[in-house]
Amino acid sequence: MDTEQDLETRLDHVFESIATAARRAGRRPEEVLLVAVSKTVPAERIAMLARLGVRCFGENRVEEAAEKLPAVASLLGHTAFGTLRWCLVGHLQSRKAARAVQLFDQIHTVDSIGLAVRLDRLAAAQGRVLPVLVEVNISGEEAKYGLAAGGWPEAVEQSAALYDAIEALLEQPHLSVQGLMTVAPLAANAEAVRPVFRRLRRLRDDLARRYPAQPWTHLSMGMSDDYQVAIEEGATMIRLGRAVFGPR
């Protein structure tokens, strides 16, 4: 198992790489939020990373988060735990939405009107407004979740369906849509996925013009193998698992 020193070394390297990529793109490193994706990582190591100053964590399964978050809380103490933010970065099935709303501060994977309506109702019952990102399937791969955007903007029908879905999400009063998220395809090298990140950003810019009442601040894109490219293309949240915690 990693020592705290191993984690710190990796984390230092990640922060240097974030800064290098940001400067290359004329951006400030502080514009990029690290989301440490802690799926499969035991609570002890999550707590270690939190003690090193990381504040934002991502999990991809509701059940796993339900088990680990209380364990992290008891390791850190409730005051320190209260300063952490938890993002759901994996697909959310409607039947698990209630648990997800209890556990997570932000959901990156709103990918259907049905799920949005369910989350809105649950957030309303808790008297809160839930920050969410809209997951978009930019690459058009069949196995991927997200609103279909493979044909945007050229394919008129698919684009109209995409805008209709976005408008339905924006109508939910207890959801605060803060931006877009995508999962890029697996690729032999990071350059190969640059067009996917660029398209997500272009879509975000288009939506910001169409629906200016929303902030559209966030682009959650980039993982361990391609986050520097994602930052060059405008990522504001990068979701890193292995780059921070080591191989799974």
Using alpha carbons, list the distances in angstroms from residue 132 to 76, 104, 207: 26, 10, 15
Cβ proximity to ligand PLP: between 174 and 204 the closer is: 204
CA angle 63/68/71 to nearest 5° reads 145
Contact pick of 131, 146, 179, 241 for ligand PLP (by CB under 6 A): 241
Q: Of the ranges 11-19, 45-53, 120-128, 235-243, which one interacts with ligand PLP (CB under 6 A)? A: 235-243
In the complex, the smallest distance separating the C-beta of residue 159 from ligand PLP, rounded to whole angstroms, is 25
What does 121-144 look like in DSSP terms, one character per residue?
Answer: HHHHHTT--EEEEEEEE-S--TT-
Distance CA 110, CA 132 (A): 7
Q: At what angle do helices 62-76 and 43-51 cross, to 10 degrees?
A: 50
Contact pick of 89, 100, 162, 180 for ligand PLP (by CB under 6 A): 89
The residue nearest ligand PLP at its CB is 241
Q: Should residue 183 be labelled a site residue for ligand PLP when binding is judged by CB under 6 A?
A: yes
- Phi and psi, residue 69, nearest 5°: -60, -45
Cβ proximity to ligand PLP: between 174 and 228 the closer is: 228
In the complex, the smallest distance separating the C-beta of residue 91 from ligand PLP, rounded to whole angstroms, is 8
Q: Should residue 106 be labelled a site residue for ligand PLP when binding is judged by CB under 6 A?
A: no
Distance CA 207, CA 231 (A): 20
Binding footprint of ligand PLP on the chain (CB under 6 A): 37, 39, 60, 89-90, 183, 223-224, 239-243
